[in-house]
Structure 1
Amino acid sequence: MATEEVNKPPPLPSYPQLIIDVIEALNDKNGSNKTTISKYIESKYGDLSGGHSTLLTHHLNKMKETGELVFWKNNYMKADPNAPPRRGRGRPPKPKVSLPPGMVLSSGRPRGRPPKDPNAPSRSPKPRLPSESGRPRGRPRKMARPEGGIGGSSTAMTSTSVRPRGRPPKVKAPALTEVSVGH
Protein backbone atom coordinates (compact mmCIF):
# COMPACT_ATOMS: atom_id res chain seq x y z
CA MET A 1 0.00 0.00 0.00
CA ALA A 2 2.87 2.35 0.61
CA THR A 3 3.93 2.15 -3.05
CA GLU A 4 0.39 2.96 -4.24
CA GLU A 5 0.31 6.12 -2.11
CA VAL A 6 3.67 7.29 -3.48
CA ASN A 7 2.57 7.02 -7.14
CA LYS A 8 -0.84 8.58 -6.44
CA PRO A 9 -1.08 12.29 -7.42
CA PRO A 10 -1.90 14.81 -4.67
CA PRO A 11 -5.58 15.61 -4.07
CA LEU A 12 -7.07 18.28 -6.32
CA PRO A 13 -7.72 21.61 -4.55
CA SER A 14 -10.62 23.90 -5.54
CA TYR A 15 -10.39 25.21 -9.08
CA PRO A 16 -9.99 28.92 -8.19
CA GLN A 17 -7.09 28.12 -5.84
CA LEU A 18 -5.65 25.72 -8.40
CA ILE A 19 -5.74 28.37 -11.16
CA ILE A 20 -3.99 30.96 -8.96
CA ASP A 21 -1.31 28.40 -8.01
CA VAL A 22 -0.70 27.47 -11.65
CA ILE A 23 -0.39 31.12 -12.78
CA GLU A 24 2.10 31.76 -9.93
CA ALA A 25 4.06 28.59 -10.78
CA LEU A 26 4.30 29.43 -14.47
CA ASN A 27 5.30 33.02 -13.58
CA ASP A 28 4.99 34.43 -17.10
CA LYS A 29 5.02 38.24 -17.25
CA ASN A 30 2.41 38.20 -20.08
CA GLY A 31 0.18 35.73 -18.23
CA SER A 32 -0.83 32.20 -19.21
CA ASN A 33 -3.46 31.06 -21.66
CA LYS A 34 -6.11 28.43 -20.96
CA THR A 35 -4.28 25.65 -22.81
CA THR A 36 -1.07 26.18 -20.83
CA ILE A 37 -2.97 26.23 -17.54
CA SER A 38 -4.86 23.04 -18.47
CA LYS A 39 -1.68 21.17 -19.54
CA TYR A 40 0.10 22.16 -16.31
CA ILE A 41 -2.80 20.90 -14.19
CA GLU A 42 -2.93 17.60 -16.13
CA SER A 43 0.84 17.11 -15.76
CA LYS A 44 0.75 17.77 -12.01
CA TYR A 45 -2.49 15.98 -11.07
CA GLY A 46 -2.54 13.20 -13.67
CA ASP A 47 -5.59 12.08 -15.62
CA LEU A 48 -8.57 14.28 -14.85
CA SER A 49 -12.28 13.78 -15.47
CA GLY A 50 -13.87 14.54 -18.84
CA GLY A 51 -15.43 17.74 -17.48
CA HIS A 52 -12.05 19.26 -16.59
CA SER A 53 -11.97 21.57 -19.62
CA THR A 54 -15.53 22.79 -18.96
CA LEU A 55 -14.84 23.35 -15.27
CA LEU A 56 -11.62 25.22 -16.03
CA THR A 57 -13.37 27.48 -18.55
CA HIS A 58 -16.22 28.18 -16.13
CA HIS A 59 -13.89 29.10 -13.24
CA LEU A 60 -11.60 31.23 -15.45
CA ASN A 61 -14.62 33.24 -16.68
CA LYS A 62 -15.99 33.57 -13.15
CA MET A 63 -12.63 34.77 -11.79
CA LYS A 64 -12.30 37.19 -14.68
CA GLU A 65 -15.73 38.70 -13.92
CA THR A 66 -15.02 39.05 -10.19
CA GLY A 67 -11.69 40.73 -10.87
CA GLU A 68 -9.41 38.05 -9.39
CA LEU A 69 -7.86 37.54 -12.85
CA VAL A 70 -7.21 39.92 -15.71
CA PHE A 71 -7.75 38.70 -19.27
CA TRP A 72 -5.48 40.46 -21.74
CA LYS A 73 -4.45 39.35 -25.24
CA ASN A 74 -5.87 35.84 -24.70
CA ASN A 75 -3.86 35.38 -21.48
CA TYR A 76 -4.93 35.26 -17.83
CA MET A 77 -2.85 36.95 -15.15
CA LYS A 78 -3.33 37.85 -11.53
CA ALA A 79 -4.89 41.26 -10.99
CA ASP A 80 -2.45 43.87 -9.71
CA PRO A 81 -4.19 45.94 -7.04
CA ASN A 82 -2.05 49.01 -7.90
CA ALA A 83 -2.53 48.88 -11.68
CA PRO A 84 -5.20 51.08 -13.31
CA PRO A 85 -7.99 49.13 -14.99
CA ARG A 86 -7.39 48.38 -18.65
CA ARG A 87 -9.78 49.87 -21.13
CA GLY A 88 -11.30 47.82 -23.91
CA ARG A 89 -11.50 48.78 -27.55
CA GLY A 90 -13.77 51.51 -28.83
CA ARG A 91 -15.25 54.59 -27.33
CA PRO A 92 -16.00 54.43 -23.60
CA PRO A 93 -19.66 54.68 -22.63
CA LYS A 94 -21.06 57.99 -21.44
CA PRO A 95 -21.42 58.30 -17.67
CA LYS A 96 -25.00 57.78 -16.54
CA VAL A 97 -26.57 60.63 -14.61
CA SER A 98 -28.27 59.34 -11.49
CA LEU A 99 -31.67 60.76 -10.64
CA PRO A 100 -32.59 61.84 -7.13
CA PRO A 101 -34.69 59.22 -5.32
CA GLY A 102 -38.41 59.52 -5.92
CA MET A 103 -38.03 61.25 -9.28
CA VAL A 104 -39.30 59.36 -12.31
CA LEU A 105 -38.01 60.08 -15.79
CA SER A 106 -40.88 61.07 -18.06
CA SER A 107 -41.02 59.44 -21.44
CA GLY A 108 -41.77 62.74 -23.21
CA ARG A 109 -43.91 62.61 -26.30
CA PRO A 110 -44.89 59.21 -27.62
CA ARG A 111 -43.65 58.15 -31.03
CA GLY A 112 -45.75 58.54 -34.16
CA ARG A 113 -48.63 60.71 -35.19
CA PRO A 114 -51.19 61.41 -32.47
CA PRO A 115 -54.68 59.96 -33.02
CA LYS A 116 -57.45 62.23 -34.28
CA ASP A 117 -59.81 63.60 -31.66
CA PRO A 118 -63.26 62.08 -32.34
CA ASN A 119 -64.98 64.96 -30.48
CA ALA A 120 -63.33 67.70 -32.54
CA PRO A 121 -65.66 69.55 -34.93
CA SER A 122 -65.19 68.57 -38.54
CA ARG A 123 -63.56 71.15 -40.73
CA SER A 124 -65.58 72.32 -43.67
CA PRO A 125 -63.76 72.25 -46.98
CA LYS A 126 -62.25 75.54 -48.10
CA PRO A 127 -64.34 77.41 -50.67
CA ARG A 128 -62.77 77.35 -54.11
CA LEU A 129 -61.37 80.63 -55.12
CA PRO A 130 -61.25 81.31 -58.85
CA SER A 131 -57.72 81.66 -60.08
CA GLU A 132 -56.58 84.80 -61.83
CA SER A 133 -56.91 83.26 -65.29
CA GLY A 134 -60.41 81.92 -64.65
CA ARG A 135 -59.38 78.31 -65.20
CA PRO A 136 -59.38 75.70 -62.45
CA ARG A 137 -56.06 74.35 -61.25
CA GLY A 138 -54.51 71.15 -62.57
CA ARG A 139 -54.82 69.13 -65.75
CA PRO A 140 -58.04 69.66 -67.69
CA ARG A 141 -60.55 66.79 -67.80
CA LYS A 142 -60.67 64.56 -70.85
CA MET A 143 -63.58 65.46 -73.06
CA ALA A 144 -65.87 62.64 -74.27
CA ARG A 145 -65.70 62.06 -78.03
CA PRO A 146 -68.90 62.53 -79.99
CA GLU A 147 -70.54 59.45 -81.53
CA GLY A 148 -70.17 59.23 -85.29
CA GLY A 149 -67.32 61.67 -85.49
CA ILE A 150 -65.49 62.47 -88.69
CA GLY A 151 -67.07 60.89 -91.79
CA GLY A 152 -68.23 57.38 -91.20
CA SER A 153 -70.68 55.30 -89.34
CA SER A 154 -70.72 55.09 -85.59
CA THR A 155 -70.03 51.35 -85.59
CA ALA A 156 -66.95 51.73 -87.72
CA MET A 157 -65.74 54.55 -85.51
CA THR A 158 -66.11 52.64 -82.26
CA SER A 159 -64.45 49.50 -83.50
CA THR A 160 -61.41 51.14 -85.13
CA SER A 161 -60.60 54.44 -83.50
CA VAL A 162 -61.86 54.12 -79.90
CA ARG A 163 -59.63 51.64 -78.21
CA PRO A 164 -59.82 50.59 -74.58
CA ARG A 165 -57.02 51.60 -72.25
CA GLY A 166 -53.98 49.39 -71.71
CA ARG A 167 -52.23 46.74 -73.69
CA PRO A 168 -54.35 44.89 -76.26
CA PRO A 169 -55.04 41.20 -75.60
CA LYS A 170 -52.84 38.60 -77.23
CA VAL A 171 -54.33 37.24 -80.46
CA LYS A 172 -54.76 33.47 -80.33
CA ALA A 173 -53.90 31.50 -83.46
CA PRO A 174 -56.96 29.79 -84.98
CA ALA A 175 -57.05 26.02 -84.57
CA LEU A 176 -56.02 24.15 -87.71
CA THR A 177 -58.60 21.74 -89.08
CA GLU A 178 -57.90 19.03 -91.56
CA VAL A 179 -59.55 19.48 -94.86
CA SER A 180 -60.00 16.39 -96.90
CA VAL A 181 -59.23 17.00 -100.52
CA GLY A 182 -60.72 14.47 -102.91
CA HIS A 183 -58.87 13.76 -106.10
Structure 2
Amino acid sequence: MATVEDQPANSSLPQYPELIMAAIEELNEKGGSTKSDISRQIEAAHGGELPGSHATLLTHYLDKMKQSGQLVLVKNNYMKPDPNAPPRRGRGRPPKPKAPLPPGYVPPPPRPRGRPPKPRDPFAPVVSPMKKASAGGGSGRKRGRPPKSSTPAAAPPPASGPPRGRGRPPKVNPAVAAPVGA
Protein backbone atom coordinates (compact mmCIF):
# COMPACT_ATOMS: atom_id res chain seq x y z
CA MET A 1 0.00 0.00 0.00
CA ALA A 2 1.47 3.32 -1.02
CA THR A 3 1.63 6.09 1.57
CA VAL A 4 1.47 9.80 0.94
CA GLU A 5 5.27 10.13 0.97
CA ASP A 6 5.65 7.37 -1.67
CA GLN A 7 3.84 9.39 -4.38
CA PRO A 8 5.96 9.88 -7.51
CA ALA A 9 6.83 13.53 -7.94
CA ASN A 10 6.67 15.21 -11.35
CA SER A 11 10.01 16.77 -12.23
CA SER A 12 8.47 20.13 -13.16
CA LEU A 13 6.08 20.24 -10.17
CA PRO A 14 7.60 21.67 -6.95
CA GLN A 15 7.08 19.91 -3.62
CA TYR A 16 3.70 20.36 -1.90
CA PRO A 17 5.01 22.52 0.99
CA GLU A 18 6.47 24.93 -1.60
CA LEU A 19 3.19 24.93 -3.56
CA ILE A 20 1.20 25.67 -0.39
CA MET A 21 3.48 28.53 0.70
CA ALA A 22 3.41 30.03 -2.80
CA ALA A 23 -0.41 29.83 -2.90
CA ILE A 24 -0.74 31.54 0.50
CA GLU A 25 1.66 34.31 -0.59
CA GLU A 26 -0.23 34.85 -3.87
CA LEU A 27 -3.62 34.96 -2.15
CA ASN A 28 -2.23 37.38 0.50
CA GLU A 29 -5.42 37.46 2.56
CA LYS A 30 -5.31 39.29 5.87
CA GLY A 31 -7.13 36.62 7.93
CA GLY A 32 -5.43 33.70 6.17
CA SER A 33 -6.57 31.38 3.38
CA THR A 34 -8.93 28.44 3.59
CA LYS A 35 -8.00 24.99 2.36
CA SER A 36 -10.33 25.28 -0.61
CA ASP A 37 -8.78 28.68 -1.58
CA ILE A 38 -5.29 27.17 -1.42
CA SER A 39 -6.42 24.18 -3.49
CA ARG A 40 -8.00 26.40 -6.17
CA GLN A 41 -4.88 28.57 -6.34
CA ILE A 42 -2.61 25.51 -6.78
CA GLU A 43 -4.96 24.06 -9.44
CA ALA A 44 -4.99 27.38 -11.30
CA ALA A 45 -1.19 27.57 -11.31
CA HIS A 46 -0.40 23.87 -11.94
CA GLY A 47 -3.69 22.39 -13.25
CA GLY A 48 -2.52 19.65 -15.62
CA GLU A 49 0.53 18.61 -13.61
CA LEU A 50 -1.26 17.74 -10.35
CA PRO A 51 -1.68 14.08 -9.38
CA GLY A 52 -5.12 12.49 -8.97
CA SER A 53 -4.70 12.42 -5.19
CA HIS A 54 -4.24 16.19 -4.98
CA ALA A 55 -6.89 16.67 -2.25
CA THR A 56 -5.38 13.96 -0.04
CA LEU A 57 -1.84 15.26 -0.51
CA LEU A 58 -2.92 18.82 0.23
CA THR A 59 -4.68 17.78 3.45
CA HIS A 60 -1.68 15.72 4.57
CA TYR A 61 0.88 18.47 3.95
CA LEU A 62 -1.30 21.19 5.50
CA ASP A 63 -1.57 19.11 8.69
CA LYS A 64 2.15 18.32 8.62
CA MET A 65 3.09 21.99 8.17
CA LYS A 66 0.66 23.01 10.93
CA GLN A 67 2.22 20.50 13.35
CA SER A 68 5.77 21.61 12.51
CA GLY A 69 4.91 25.30 13.00
CA GLN A 70 5.40 26.40 9.38
CA LEU A 71 1.69 27.36 9.21
CA VAL A 72 -0.79 28.57 11.79
CA LEU A 73 -4.48 27.58 11.70
CA VAL A 74 -6.83 30.31 12.93
CA LYS A 75 -10.60 29.85 12.45
CA ASN A 76 -10.08 27.30 9.61
CA ASN A 77 -7.73 29.70 7.82
CA TYR A 78 -4.06 28.87 7.22
CA MET A 79 -1.51 31.66 7.46
CA LYS A 80 2.21 32.11 7.98
CA PRO A 81 3.19 32.56 11.63
CA ASP A 82 4.14 36.04 12.79
CA PRO A 83 7.94 36.18 13.13
CA ASN A 84 7.64 38.51 16.17
CA ALA A 85 5.18 36.25 18.00
CA PRO A 86 6.50 34.28 20.99
CA PRO A 87 6.85 30.52 20.44
CA ARG A 88 3.81 28.42 21.33
CA ARG A 89 3.93 26.55 24.61
CA GLY A 90 3.01 22.92 24.89
CA ARG A 91 0.20 21.62 27.05
CA GLY A 92 0.44 21.59 30.82
CA ARG A 93 2.44 23.53 33.32
CA PRO A 94 5.94 24.58 32.24
CA PRO A 95 8.80 22.93 34.13
CA LYS A 96 10.54 24.82 36.91
CA PRO A 97 13.94 26.25 36.03
CA LYS A 98 16.69 24.10 37.49
CA ALA A 99 19.50 25.66 39.51
CA PRO A 100 22.92 25.04 37.98
CA LEU A 101 24.96 22.37 39.76
CA PRO A 102 28.39 23.27 41.15
CA PRO A 103 31.31 21.95 39.11
CA GLY A 104 32.55 18.52 40.15
CA TYR A 105 29.24 17.56 41.83
CA VAL A 106 28.15 14.00 41.18
CA PRO A 107 24.45 13.35 41.93
CA PRO A 108 23.64 10.31 44.10
CA PRO A 109 22.12 7.24 42.43
CA PRO A 110 18.30 7.28 42.24
CA ARG A 111 16.37 5.60 45.04
CA PRO A 112 14.88 2.21 44.25
CA ARG A 113 11.14 1.94 43.72
CA GLY A 114 8.80 0.66 46.41
CA ARG A 115 8.71 0.74 50.17
CA PRO A 116 12.05 0.33 51.95
CA PRO A 117 12.42 -2.90 53.96
CA LYS A 118 12.11 -2.86 57.75
CA PRO A 119 15.41 -2.84 59.64
CA ARG A 120 16.37 -6.27 60.94
CA ASP A 121 17.99 -6.99 64.28
CA PRO A 122 21.20 -8.95 63.54
CA PHE A 123 21.16 -10.61 67.02
CA ALA A 124 17.53 -11.80 66.95
CA PRO A 125 17.01 -15.59 66.61
CA VAL A 126 15.72 -16.78 63.25
CA VAL A 127 12.11 -17.99 63.49
CA SER A 128 10.55 -20.15 60.77
CA PRO A 129 7.12 -19.15 59.42
CA MET A 130 5.44 -22.24 60.94
CA LYS A 131 6.69 -21.40 64.42
CA LYS A 132 5.57 -17.77 64.13
CA ALA A 133 1.88 -18.72 64.36
CA SER A 134 2.30 -20.83 67.48
CA ALA A 135 5.02 -18.77 69.15
CA GLY A 136 4.05 -16.33 71.90
CA GLY A 137 1.71 -13.80 70.31
CA GLY A 138 -0.42 -16.03 68.04
CA SER A 139 -3.57 -17.93 68.97
CA GLY A 140 -2.45 -21.08 67.18
CA ARG A 141 -5.05 -20.79 64.43
CA LYS A 142 -4.39 -19.93 60.81
CA ARG A 143 -5.20 -16.47 59.54
CA GLY A 144 -8.40 -15.77 57.64
CA ARG A 145 -11.79 -17.42 57.47
CA PRO A 146 -11.84 -21.14 58.29
CA PRO A 147 -12.78 -23.48 55.41
CA LYS A 148 -16.32 -24.81 55.13
CA SER A 149 -16.78 -28.23 56.64
CA SER A 150 -18.35 -30.96 54.50
CA THR A 151 -20.90 -31.95 57.20
CA PRO A 152 -23.34 -29.36 58.43
CA ALA A 153 -22.79 -28.46 62.09
CA ALA A 154 -26.40 -28.13 63.13
CA ALA A 155 -28.93 -29.26 60.47
CA PRO A 156 -32.52 -28.18 61.14
CA PRO A 157 -34.96 -30.99 61.93
CA PRO A 158 -36.94 -32.28 58.93
CA ALA A 159 -40.23 -30.41 58.48
CA SER A 160 -43.51 -32.28 58.49
CA GLY A 161 -45.74 -31.96 55.42
CA PRO A 162 -44.92 -31.36 51.78
CA PRO A 163 -41.55 -29.84 50.91
CA ARG A 164 -41.45 -26.11 50.37
CA GLY A 165 -41.09 -24.92 46.81
CA ARG A 166 -38.70 -22.26 45.63
CA GLY A 167 -39.52 -18.57 45.67
CA ARG A 168 -42.20 -16.58 47.43
CA PRO A 169 -45.33 -18.50 48.41
CA PRO A 170 -48.58 -17.46 46.69
CA LYS A 171 -50.84 -14.94 48.40
CA VAL A 172 -53.74 -16.55 50.29
CA ASN A 173 -57.11 -14.83 49.77
CA PRO A 174 -59.31 -14.66 52.89
CA ALA A 175 -62.55 -16.63 52.79
CA VAL A 176 -65.52 -14.55 51.66
CA ALA A 177 -68.63 -14.71 53.90
CA ALA A 178 -71.91 -15.87 52.40
CA PRO A 179 -74.21 -13.05 51.26
CA VAL A 180 -76.88 -12.07 53.73
CA GLY A 181 -80.45 -12.89 52.76
CA ALA A 182 -79.79 -15.82 50.57
Q: Under a length normalisation based on structure 2, what TM-score does the superposition of the two structures give? A: 0.50
Higher Cα Rg: structure 1 or 2? 1
Q: Under a length normalisation based on structure 1, what TM-score does the superposition of the two structures give? A: 0.49
